[in-house]
Amino acid sequence: MRKTLAHLTLSTTPFEMVSAAAAAGFDGAGVRICGRHVGDTSFVDVIGDKAAIRDLRMRADDGGIEISNVSAFQFYPGLTLDHLRGVVETTAALEVKTLVVNVFMQGDQGFDLFTQYGELAKSAGLRLALEFLPYSAIRTMTDAAAFIRNSSLDNAGILLDSLHLDRSGGTAGDIRALDKSMIAFAQICDAKRLASPKSDEELKQEARTARLKLGEGDLPLGAFMDALPDGMELEYEVADAAIKHLPAIDRAKAAMADLNAFLAARADAKSLA
């Protein structure tokens, strides 16, 4: 199993993300190369920056780590194919094969842009990983699967997230029923069982700031893991609020320790079954 570190876990620059993940012993790291929407300056923007691209590639090579996936513009009004063309060119230059996509545009606008993005990505040898979010236009795994099938793209798959699966009403059984070729990769975290329904804004804030370490919540993570295809890339995505003051390398090492402890406990349980 390839173990990668999600950008959200550290929410730092792509340079620090790659270095910290490598130091912690991860096989790969996800990076964010621009803001979540056009005009968002909350994150370092490396699109089209040749010097930054060279730096990132050098860090990955020196650290013996793969840049597993790229997060760029989420699909909000104002986003155009010209913006996404720069994303594709930068991702290809980074030698990354997977682009994460989140769709917040309703109706044909988001669908048409996704299809065009997929065709542009395919020409560069890239795959789209569509992440369903229960507070977005693609709210469930079923929605994501239908969206991809309707696009007729053969280079698009679903990004499975244990939190989003639970909060959207999905189950491990739904994963098992899915054509495994449609799964791009999986993200894992824990969370408490919902006592009452949450608003879209509450779900978004939980996803970005309140994920729990593995075993600290109530999500059926064992069943989630059992439903994934063998050898599936597993990305750790927990922004642990208790250690957010620590340097990125220390937080990455804590993430690796949590993931390894979870996988070891799971292996022990299976050996006793």
Give CA angle at 68 (171, 260), nearest 5°.
Answer: 60
Q: Give the per-residue pLDDT at 27.
A: 98
In the predicted model, what is the mean pLDDT of residues 231-236? 96
Pairing mode, strands 156-161 and 28-32 = unpaired
Average pLDDT of the chain? 96
Q: Give the per-residue pLDDT at 24.
A: 98
In the predicted model, what is the mean pLDDT of residues 15-28? 98
**Strand locations in 142-257, DSSP E?**
156-161, 183-188, 234-236
Q: Structurally, how many domains does the chain consist of?
A: 1
Q: Look at residue 184 and tell me whether its pLDDT is greater than 70.
A: yes
Here the CATH number for the domain that contains residue 243 is: 3.20.20.150
Residue whose entry in the numeric block shows the structure tokens 């842009």: 113
Least confident of 42-46, 207-211, 264-268: 264-268
pTM equals 0.96
Cβ partners under 8 Å of residue 56, min gap 6: 14, 15, 18, 31, 46, 67, 94
39-45: Cβ within 8 A, 24+ apart = 39/78, 43/13, 44/13, 44/14, 44/15
φ, ψ of residue 142 in degrees (nearest 5): -65, -40
Structural domain for 238, as ranges: 3-272
Residue 12 to residue 20: CA distance in whole angstroms: 10
Map residue 158 onto helix, strand or coil.
Answer: strand
Q: Look at residue 5 and tell me whether its pLDDT is greater than 80.
A: yes
The percent of residues in the chain predicted with pLDDT above 70, rounded, is: 100
Amino acid at 185: F
Give the model's confidence band at 245: pLDDT under 50 very low, under 70 low, under 90 confident, else very high. Answer: very high
Give the model's confidence band at 272: pLDDT under 50 very low, under 70 low, under 90 confident, else very high. Answer: confident
φ, ψ of residue 190 in degrees (nearest 5): -120, 170
Q: How many CB atoms lie within 10 A of CB 93?
A: 17
Bridge partners for 98 per DSSP:
127
Instruction: Enter the tokens of residue 203.
Output: 């779900």
pLDDT tens-digit series, residues 112-151:
999 999 999 999 999 999 999 999 999 999 999 999 999 9
Give the model's confidence band at 273: pLDDT under 50 very low, under 70 low, under 90 confident, else very high. Answer: low
Burial of 159 (0-12, 13-18, 19+ CB in 10 A): buried
pLDDT tens-digit series, residues 29-52:
999 999 999 999 999 999 999 999
CA 75 to chain CA centroid, Å, is 15
Bridge partners for 90 per DSSP:
none
Residue 179 to residue 172: CA distance in whole angstroms: 13
